Structure 1
Amino acid sequence: MRREELVDLNAFLAVAEERSFTRAAARLGTSQSSLSHTVRRLESQLGVRLLTRTTRSVAPTTAGERLLDTLRPALDNISAELASLSELREKPAGTIRITAAEHAVETAIWPVLERFLPNYPDIHVELSVDSSLTDIVTERFDAGVRLGEALAKDMVAVRIGPDLRMVVVGAPAYFESHPIPRTPNDLADHQCINLRMLSSGGLYAWELEKDGREIRVRVEGQLAFNGIRMIVTAAVAGFGLGFVMEDRVLEHLADGRLVRVLEDWCPPFPGYHLYYPSRRQPSAAFSVLVDALRYRG
């Protein structure tokens, strides 16, 4: 393959992934007109149209989709091999992109990075704080972080945190006018603070379990938030019951501002895992970071 052909294929890949000549040109550091010329040249050489262009969008044709499916893993492998050459340097180097939810970043990733990065000045880490279920391959992340029970089977998974636990909590003032719930069915008689899921847009159903029996409860109340901090704030203020990660409310439980209920319905579950495609060839920088993040408790 001639060098020009590889350049043309990379240009097509960028436009197909970005669905925009403008964004693809910015990604590649070239002009929109030059990029358009490159793609037209590739289409002329192949004798097929690869992209459907309108005034508002760009999308791959059937032929373009076939080429895209072939190019992605091939060019990803080339990028990984180039990155692995950093092993020849005195110290690992490169940029690592990771997507993870805020809680995972705060509790499992940042405490490690704070100690790790000063020892590896040539390693750069980009963290995308996002609670949605991001496709790390399509979005070109090196790795993602999810709970152990939500991992795809074709991924390599590395545990980076301990087991976690959810808790149902309410303020003492709230329980002055509401009975203590003894079973999940009792939640129907309570004001519960809902969580709006960023990934689906729906309200989170509380997942409770006892003696192997799992129950998902759709709760109701005056309040709903798309973040945990405000759920905790509202619960402390006495506006209802919250269902949150235990570590978010340990101080409030210790000083009596919150009371734990339905404890026997809230067992521990597998904690955070770093995951990445099994076919990925890790660079030296990626390998040393994964080893640092690995949970050894």
Structure 2
Amino acid sequence: MKRDELGDLMAFLIVAEERSFTRAAARLATSQSSLSHTVRRLEERMGVRLLTRTTRNVAPTEAGEQLAETLRPAFNGIVAKMNAISALRQRPAGLIRVTTSRHAAQTILMPAAKRLMLDYPEIRIELTVDQRLVDLVAERYDAGVRLGEQVEKDMVAVKIGPDLRMMVAGSPGYFAVNPKPQTPHDLTAHNCINIRLPTYGGLYAWELEKDGRALNVRVDGQFVCNDVPMIIDAALNGLGLACLPEDQFDTLIDEGRLVRVLEDWCPPFSGYHLYYPSRRQTSPAFNLLIEALRYRGL
């Protein structure tokens, strides 16, 4: 069957249902004369009259009624299938790839991702835990999660967590033989645990600030590592002072296994943000992830 023949059948069915060329033409957004020509063409092709036309009414003939009964369920099925396909396009589904640090993944991303995947079984989430700042487009990620100050200006950034604070801490055993530092300058006399940065391979400069005075302190010590749990373990074993987000130390401080110092030099700073290219066309699934992560405060 040719494409125009299928269109002729649809036009006939609508005229038969409306019993009016005027109403059928309005429904099809065409003219009455064009619609009348279409039906006549179908009748000529089939060799049978399908409609009885009077000045007041249009009604299917017996042949026309039989054809309409055959066409109606077929076209209704087509419409239903097209609606289902359209709904599928709008239903949250598909894979979302996110690059993130381990800390953000554990504290923010995974709790939200687990709830989202349970509520929407057709959504799949792939998290890549990587401390590097990656190129989202080049490495085909939908989004990344990093601290607000690390997000590039040409990205859309959505805050997904509270402000954070760093904490400098050491073990009671370490302070039994070393005085507590009172200012950042005192750190030069201390054994400090350095963090190796993944993106460019340098060492993290401890970012401290008080009364608007910011200091980036290059510390020195016996141990360098790029893994937070190992840094914490080293601090617990008296190998030196560590500087990490305070929630990494909270329980250990409460238990007395670590002691906090330089607290007044550790103000809050911008927390984690979900970021993605501004030109990205977001999907229903991705929009749901954004709303699940969006930080709304207390």
TM-score of the aligned structures, taking structure 1 as reference length: 0.70
| Corresponding letter in the other structure for 1:147 | L
Pair 1:163 & 2:163 matched: yes
Q: What secondary structure is seen at the aligned counterpart in 1 of 2:214?
A: strand
- Describe the superposition over 1:211-230 as per-residue Cα deviations: whole angstroms up to 9, x where unpaired: 11111111111111111111
Cα pair distance change 1:144/1:211, threshold 3 Å: same
Identity %: 59
Please list every run of 5 or more consecutive structure 1 residues that lacks an aligned counterpart in the other structure.
1-84
| Corresponding letter in the other structure for 1:162 | P
| Corresponding letter in the other structure for 1:269 | F
Q: What secondary structure is seen at the aligned counterpart in 1 of 2:164?
A: coil
Asked if structure 1 preserves the Cα contact closer than 8 Å seen for 2:188 and 2:220, the reply is yes
- Describe the superposition over 1:235-271 as per-residue Cα deviations: whole angstroms up to 9, x where unpaired: 1111110001101111100010000000011001110
Cα pair distance change 1:184/1:119, threshold 3 Å: same
For residue 146 of structure 1, what is the aligned residue in structure 2? 146
| Corresponding letter in the other structure for 1:131 | Q
Offset of residue 89 of structure 1: 4.6
Asked if structure 2 preserves the Cα contact closer than 8 Å seen for 1:93 and 1:123, the reply is yes
Asked if structure 1 preserves the Cα contact closer than 8 Å seen for 2:163 and 2:270, the reply is yes
For residue 96 of structure 2, what is the aligned residue in structure 1? 96
Q: What secondary structure is seen at the aligned counterpart in 2 of 1:107?
A: helix
Q: Tell me the distance in 2 between the aligned counterparts of 1:97 and 1:247.
A: 26
Q: Tell me the distance in 2 between the aligned counterparts of 1:255 and 1:283.
A: 45
Q: Tell me the distance in 2 between the aligned counterparts of 1:288 and 1:151.
A: 21
Offset of residue 97 of structure 1: 0.5
Q: What secondary structure is seen at the aligned counterpart in 1 of 2:177?
A: coil
Offset of residue 91 of structure 1: 3.2
TM-score of the aligned structures, taking structure 2 as reference length: 0.69
For residue 295 of structure 1, what is the aligned residue in structure 2? 295
Q: Tell me the distance in 1 between the aligned counterparts of 2:109 and 2:86.
A: 23
Pair 1:258 & 2:258 matched: yes
For residue 195 of structure 1, what is the aligned residue in structure 2? 195
For residue 106 of structure 2, what is the aligned residue in structure 1? 106
For residue 229 of structure 1, what is the aligned residue in structure 2? 229
For residue 217 of structure 1, what is the aligned residue in structure 2? 217
| Corresponding letter in the other structure for 1:130 | D
Q: Tell me the distance in 2 between the aligned counterparts of 1:86 and 1:220.
A: 61
Offset of residue 116 of structure 1: 1.6
Q: What secondary structure is seen at the aligned counterpart in 2 of 1:105?
A: helix
Q: Tell me the distance in 2 between the aligned counterparts of 1:244 and 1:151.
A: 20
- The count of residues paired between Structure 1 and Structure 2 equals 213
Q: Tell me the distance in 2 between the aligned counterparts of 1:91 and 1:120.
A: 9
| Corresponding letter in the other structure for 1:155 | M
Asked if structure 2 preserves the Cα contact closer than 8 Å seen for 1:148 and 1:272, the reply is yes
Offset of residue 90 of structure 1: 6.9
Q: What secondary structure is seen at the aligned counterpart in 1 of 2:95?
A: strand
Pair 1:119 & 2:119 matched: yes
Q: Tell me the distance in 1 between the aligned counterparts of 2:223 and 2:152.
A: 33
For residue 55 of structure 2, what is the aligned residue in structure 1? none
Cα pair distance change 1:200/1:90, threshold 3 Å: closer
Asked if structure 2 preserves the Cα contact closer than 8 Å seen for 1:169 and 1:242, the reply is yes
Pair 1:177 & 2:172 matched: no
Asked if structure 1 preserves the Cα contact closer than 8 Å seen for 2:90 and 2:284, the reply is no
Q: Tell me the distance in 2 between the aligned counterparts of 1:119 and 1:91.
A: 12
Offset of residue 114 of structure 1: 1.8
Larger radius of gyration: 2
| Corresponding letter in the other structure for 2:127 | L
